[in-house]
Amino acid sequence: MTHFPKGLMISAPSSGTGKTTVMLGLLRALKDDGLTVQPFKSGPDYIDPAFHFAAAGRASFNLDTWAMDDTLLDAVTTQAQGADICVGEGSMGLFDGVATRGQSGFGSSAETALRMGWPVVLVIDVGGQAQSAAATALGFKMYNPDLPFAGVILNRVASPRHERLTRLGMERAGVKVLGSLPRRGDLTLPERHLGLIQAVEHPDLEAAIAGYAAFLRENVDLDAIRTVASTAAAPTPRALPRPPAQRIALARDAAFSFTYPHLLEGWRAAGAEILPFSPLKDEAPATDADLVWLPGGYPELHGATLAAAENWRKGMTRHAETKPVHGECGGYMALGEALIDKDGTRHQMAGLLGLVTSYEKRKFHLGYRRAELQAPMPGFGSGAYLRGHEFHYSTILDEPDAPLARVMDADGNPVPETGSIKGHVTGTFFHLITGEHA
């Protein structure tokens, strides 16, 4: 393989420290400096990569040591070919993962950084403390001595005096300060019930990202950031997962937008045709598609629009008579009989499955999933093992169809969200990351 780019990992002690703001600003600032920047996301988050793409102008990919084996991790890493620098964004805190080992690790950002050879830049919220922040930084630096630690970016600094005291602590601890960001209330991305709002819904995303980049350029040593970037050996070139069909009608709009980028890239690379259509615009899937795939998203926010989409519903019914349809999470709910929104209003869905779900009483479902298929689904035969991630607030009121899979959490405990199969139609609550063929 020719030159493989160096990289670094933007992480934090915990969620909510401002690392996404730093990540987006850094991606855009480096791009504005003329670099080709390859973003990555550590862990199973499927909202952040769309923001990364908006900031860097290059598709972002997930690296997940719990869900992915070495072959798939190499295949995903290979997507950085041709970039000048890689920037990874961690999930949760740097060392946070699950308790039971998965395909190649426990799913922590530290594992991703170690595997990639990326030094860690730790974003620390120093609000309410000064020199004490250095103890946090030192603990993270020393927790795993094998992990390269580049330094810290101080966030939400209240005043020049606050910055001076905090820097004194970092100097005493031998921790390099790469930047210091003054407290600003306008730097948070809008939130919604699943965390961040989707990139496609942000009222003025381009202006926001440009603002983050200007803010970082003023307060972070970008030359130092570029200098600390490093990498392990170049990955062995591998192919991404193959497509489940040749012509795939893919629902694509504000209600259906969550598909892992490495899957779509693998489908395209293998020669599959992706045929986008919008249920919200009452578009039917292409009549010559071999498969209809409904990704996750927010159908519960568009219940009335989907209920009125007669053309979409008829097209789905026509396709399902002879050819496969599959839905994930929000897509699974939209394939059901009805969806009840948070106000208690019942909306008719596609009716291809008997599933009825409700958001009236929110119940949080979050975590990795390992599923043993009890019946075939597009791309996989009965008995295959799939790995994915579940993240939603809906409650099942009725699930009358045959279960698609035996589903377990990361520790191997069974979960009740088995998915469904009825005729040519299948659905799961988890978003597929990878599968092991039986």
Catalytic residues: 329
Judge residue 434's burial from the number of C-beta atoms within 10 Å of its C-beta, 0-12 exposed, 13-18 middle, 19 or more buried.
buried
Which H or E element spans position 184?
none
Q: What string of DSSP letters covers 53-73?
A: HHHHSS--EEE-TTT--HHHH
The residue among 426, 197, 227, 434 whose CA lies nearest residue 327 is: 426
State the CB neighbour count (10 A cutoff) for residue 45.
20
How far apart are alpha carbons 154 and 104 in whole angstroms? Answer: 32
How far apart are alpha carbons 26 and 23 in whole angstroms? Answer: 5
Strands 85-89 vs 6-11: parallel, antiparallel or unpaired: parallel
Give the count of alpha carbons within 13 A of 105, CB side only: 20
Are 348 and 338 spatial neighbours (Cβ–Cβ below 8 Å)?
yes
405-408 sheet: strands from edge to edge: 405-408, 365-373, 385-392, 431-436
How far lies 406's CA from each of 33, 78, 95, 98, in Å? 50, 33, 30, 20
Quote helix, strand, coil % in the chain, to nearest 5: 30, 30, 40
How far apart are alpha carbons 282 and 245 in whole angstroms? Answer: 24
Coil, helix or strand at residue 234: coil
The residue among 77, 49, 46, 53 whose CA lies nearest residue 63 is: 77
How far apart are alpha carbons 348 and 310 in whole angstroms? Answer: 10
In this structure, which long-range contacts are made by residues 109-113, counting pairs with CB atoms below 8 Å and at least 24 apart in sequence?
109/9, 109/11, 109/42, 109/43, 110/11, 110/144, 110/147, 111/65, 112/9, 112/40, 112/42, 112/43, 112/63, 112/64, 112/65, 112/88, 113/9, 113/11, 113/42, 113/88, 113/147, 113/148
